[in-house]
Amino acid sequence: MRSPLLRSLARAVCLLLAGTFVVLVAVQYVRIVERNLAYMQQVRDVEREVAALQLERDDQLRRIVRLSDPRGAIPEIHDRLHLVGDREAIIYLRRHDDPATGAPQ
């Protein structure tokens, strides 16, 4: 027969070991959850970047198609070089600044 003191000491050691095991498992679980949340944020950021790049690509493709056709390229060239065709004119408009603040209206 074992003494009651030895039995209670063995129980305390077992409880301590079990408690330590539970704490270690909980800490690991928390770390995994934090890592998963960080990965989810990174995935969302990448998805936003991909969407922005797809919009930019679509704009560039539309511009390529427009500039591949002379009817789209010629006006672009005229606008950039400030050239005019027959019976055309360039009209420059000035901004009026607010005299009180000096900012454009």
CA distances from 31 to 7, 17, 34, 38 (A): 36, 21, 5, 11
Is the C-alpha dihedral spanning 38, 41, 43, 46 positive or negative?
A: negative
Q: Is the pLDDT reported for residue 14 higher than 70?
A: yes
**1 band by pLDDT with thresholds 50, 70 and 90:** low
Asked if residue 36 belongs to a domain, the reply is yes
Residue 62: which domain range?
A: 4-81
Amino acid 96: pLDDT: 73
Q: Is the pLDDT reported for residue 85 higher than 80?
A: no
Amino acid 73: pLDDT: 83
Asked if residue 92 belongs to a domain, the reply is no
Asked if residue 98 belongs to a domain, the reply is no
Please state the pTM of the whole predicted model.
Answer: 0.53
Span 78-103, average pLDDT: 74
Domains of the chain: total? 1
Instruction: Kindly compute the dihedral angle of the four CA atoms of residues 10, 12, 13, 19, in this order, to the nearest 10 degrees.
Output: 140
Asked if residue 29 belongs to a domain, the reply is yes
Asked if residue 22 belongs to a domain, the reply is yes
Span 49-56, average pLDDT: 98
